[in-house]
Chains A and B, each alone.
Chain A
Amino acid sequence: MPTCCGAIRAMIRFENVTKVYDRKARPALDSITLEIDRGEFAFLVGASGSGKSTFLRLVLKEDRATSGAVYVAGQNVANISSWRVPRLRRGIGVVFQDFRLLPQKNVFANVAFAMQVIGKSRSVIRSTVPEVLKTVGLEGKEHRMPHELSGGEQQRVAIARAVVNRPGILLADEPTGNLDPTTSMGIMGVLDKINQNGTTVVMATHDDDIVNEMRKRVVELRNGVVIRDEAKALYTSMIPVVGQSRRLKDASGLDDLVGPERVSQDGTSSGEAMQ
Chain B
Amino acid sequence: MRLAFILSEIGSGLRRNLTMVISVILVTFISLTFVGAAGMLQLQINQMKGYWYDKVQVAIFLCSEGSAAAGCASGPVTEEQQKNLEALLRSPAVAQYINEFQFESKEDAYGHFKEQFSNSPIVDSVAPDQLPASFRINMKDPEKYQIISETFASQPGVESVIDQRKILEQLFSVMNGASVVAVVIAAVMIVCAILLIATTIRLSAFSRRRETGIMRLVGASKTVIQLPFILEGVIAALIGAALASGTLWAVSYFFLGDLSKQFQDTPFISPSQTLVLVPALFALGVILAGISSLLTLRRYLRV
Decide yes or no whether A204 CB sits under 8 A from chain B: no
Cβ contact within 8 Å between B5 and A116: yes
Bound form: Cα–Cα A117–B217 in Å: 11
Q: Which chain B residues lie closer than 8 Å to A85 at the CB level?
A: 303
Bound form: Cα–Cα A86–B1 in Å: 18
Q: Which chain A residues lie closer than 8 Å to B84 at the CB level?
A: none
Q: How many residues of B contact A (CB 8 A)?
A: 18
> With A100-B210, A117-B224, A118-B218 in contact, do A86 and B5 touch (Cβ < 8 Å)?
no
Query: Which of A86, A89, A93 has the most CB atoms of chain B within a 10 A radius of its CB?
Result: A86
Cβ contact within 8 Å between B213 and A100: yes
Interface size class of A (residues with CB under 8 A): 20 to 34
Interface string of B194-221 (1 = CB under 8 A from A): 0000000000000000110111111111
Bound form: Cα–Cα A87–B222 in Å: 11
> With A82-B303, A86-B303, A100-B213 in contact, do A120 and B218 touch (Cβ < 8 Å)?
no
Query: Which of A116, A122, A162, A165 has the most CB atoms of chain B within a 10 A radius of its CB?
Result: A116
Q: Which chain A residues lie closer than 8 Å to B218 at the CB level?
A: 89-90, 93, 113-114, 117-118, 161-162, 165
Decide yes or no whether A88 CB sits under 8 A from chain B: yes
Bound form: Cα–Cα A89–B1 in Å: 20
Measured between C-beta atoms, what is the minimum distance from B282 to chain A in Å? 30
Measured between C-beta atoms, what is the minimum distance from B139 to chain A in Å? 62
Instruction: Name the CB-closest residue of B to A122.
Output: B1
> With A102-B210, A119-B1 in contact, do A86 and B220 touch (Cβ < 8 Å)?
yes
14 cross-chain CB contacts under 8 A: A83-B221, A83-B222, A86-B216, A89-B217, A91-B219, A114-B218, A116-B2, A116-B5, A117-B2, A118-B219, A119-B1, A119-B224, A121-B1, A165-B218
Given contacts A117-B215, A117-B224, 20 further A-B contacts (CB under 8 A): A82-B222, A82-B303, A86-B216, A86-B219, A86-B220, A86-B222, A89-B217, A90-B219, A100-B213, A100-B214, A102-B211, A102-B214, A116-B5, A117-B220, A117-B225, A118-B220, A118-B221, A119-B224, A120-B1, A161-B214
10 A-B pairs with the lowest CB-CB distances in the bound complex, closest first: A90-B219, A117-B220, A89-B219, A114-B218, A119-B2, A86-B219, A116-B5, A117-B215, A86-B221, A94-B217
